[in-house]
Amino acid sequence: MKILLPLLALLLAGCGPRLMVERAPGAALPGAATYAWSVAGDRIPGEEHPRVANDIVADLLRQAIDTGLARRGWQAAENAAWHVHYHAGIEKRTEQVTEPARPRLPRLVCTARHYCYETWDWGYWGPPELSTRTITYHEGTLVIDIHDAASGKLVWRGTLSNEIDLRAAIDPAKLQKAVDRLLLQLPAGMPAP
């Protein structure tokens, strides 16, 4: 039986996932690089999608984040300095793309001084007609939040999003690679003595 994980496709798209990190000014990350899991108080669009709102995906994401944080020198602890939670969502997107109906053709142009260069031209009839088409796709987003345990203030947020294929099968290694890529932006903790 195949288990589906749409966030896997974050790694599979040709242009690569979009990565964004926000950090609170003056946050002393990591300091004591200990963390504990917490429950998210906010939500992102698409979190209710059945492909991500289930225990199987939750366990896979939590395991990938735990492994990624450990690789960065962070340690899970009961009385932690930081609280971690994640959001995963899928949204259906629609965009209109306008392109020339036929491509430009290369043309060699020579000047009176016998200097020649190549240019792109549409030919005698001028620019081509434009063709507009509608593209519908699914975009998956993974957000990892780190809050100060003492104040509850959000101090670090990493977001990874990209077009996904809802038919993609789970590949924990590729999921781990995506999480590790996002967590590379997180300051590393000091190894335990």
Q: What is the pLDDT of residues 128-186, one digit of tens each?
A: 677 888 999 999 999 999 999 989 999 999 999 988 888 887 678 888 999 999 999 89
Q: What is the pLDDT of residue 3?
A: 35
Kindly state the percentage of the chain with pLDDT values over 70. Answer: 75
Mean pLDDT for the stretch of residues 94-118: 71
Cis upstream peptide for 30 (omega within 30°) = yes
Give per-residue pLDDT as tens, 85-103.
999 999 999 999 887 766 5
State the pLDDT at residue 12. 40
Q: What pairs with residue 160 in β-bridges? A: 19, 142
The pTM of this model reads: 0.73
Closest C-alpha among 69, 81, 71 to residue 28: 81
37: amino acid identity, one letter: W
Name the token pair of 60: 């896979």
- The answer to whether residues 190 and 78 touch, using CB atoms and an 8 Å cutoff, is no
- Rounded CA gap, 21 and 144, in Å? 10
Q: Tell me, what's the pLDDT at 132?
A: 86
pLDDT value at 76 more than 60: yes
